[in-house]
Chains A and B, each alone.
Chain A
Amino acid sequence: MKDTKDTAVEKVDRKQAEPARKGRMYIPNTDIYEKDDSILVRCDMPGVAQENLDIRLDNNELEITGTQTVSAMDEMDPLINEYATGTYRRRFNIPQLIDRDKIHARLHNGVLELELPKAEQAKPRKIEISTER
């Protein structure tokens, strides 16, 4: 299993403007699944508390931003430092078929789960064939 942040750093889009503030930016590792009635997005965001997580939907763009909380290590010396902390940010394009009012988000043990239900007209349906007599 590869370190999540190694891959995250590799994927940073250089064209995107970097915010002028302290801390590194990371792109959270994400799984996207599609079911018949919804799209499920899961993002790894360890160390992000619920109050530091911001999810915005602007037209077709869904942006998630989460800042990691770091507990202060007073009078402690760093002995091994293998990962750094910062802010997770990622944008997704939301297709028209999603019902925007019913998007549901849940944060559990450092994983953000977004459930994007499909609008009624976008759900697959069986078409009944009427037989003419």
Chain B
Amino acid sequence: MYWTNSRTWSPFGELRGLQREMNRLFDGYDNGTSLSRFPALNVWGNTDQIIVTAELPGLEIEDLDLSVVNNQLTIKGERKNDKPAEDAVCHRNERGCGAFVRTVKLPFAVENDRITAKYENGVLSIVMPRQEATKPKRIEIKTA
């Protein structure tokens, strides 16, 4: 459907992919596929728009950084350690903290100026409308 890779196959592309994989392995930097999957994403789409949601409890809006470059959405952020006081005794610590990056490839070009994002109850949702020029058009066939 529209989640297809439009690039045609080339051996150099394969090599570049391999290089990217290796870089990611050694950098510990996530490119949005396998290693680090934080935050977990849900993505919905139709022919007009894409919606991405992520559960990110305990952040402030200024801790989040979203960008779309070359059909790739990048979600960057940091969850700060919220220990109440230095001398507080910790009995249980299950909530992690730290910086994260997640990149997801979008199936089509989006209107960068019309992207809307909201952060509500710890859930981030980003709505990205498709670029008009890339929408599928029906082609009329004329009879002679």
Contact = CB atoms under 8 A, between A and B. Distances in A.
Contact of A109 (B60, B98, B100): B60
Nearest to A34: B89
Contacts, number: 127
A75 B55 contact: no
Contacts of B36: 1
The interface residues of chain B, by DSSP majority, are classed as: loop
Q: Tell me which of A29, A40, A44 has the highest count of chain B C-beta atoms within 10 A of its own C-beta.
A: A44
Contact of A46 (B42, B104, B122): B122
The interface residues of chain A, by DSSP majority, are classed as: mixed
B97 to A, nearest CB: 7
A50 to B, nearest CB: 8
A71 B55 CA distance: 13
B108 to A, nearest CB: 11
B132 interface: no
Given A3-B37, A47-B121, A109-B57, A31 B44 contact: no
A54 B100 CA distance: 31
Interface in B34-93: 36-46, 50-51, 55-60, 79, 82-85, 87-93
B95 A79 contact: no
Contact of B57 (A49, A80, A111): A111
Interface string A21-40: 00000000111111100001
Residues of A in contact with B, size category: 35 or more
Nearest to A108: B58
Contact of A76 (B51, B56, B87): B51
A34 B83 CA distance: 11
Interface in A44-60: 44-49
Nearest to A78: B44
B140 interface: no
Interface string B1-19: 1010000000000000000
B40 A110 contact: no
A102 B8 CA distance: 65
B88 A33 contact: yes
Contacts of A46: 55-57, 121-123
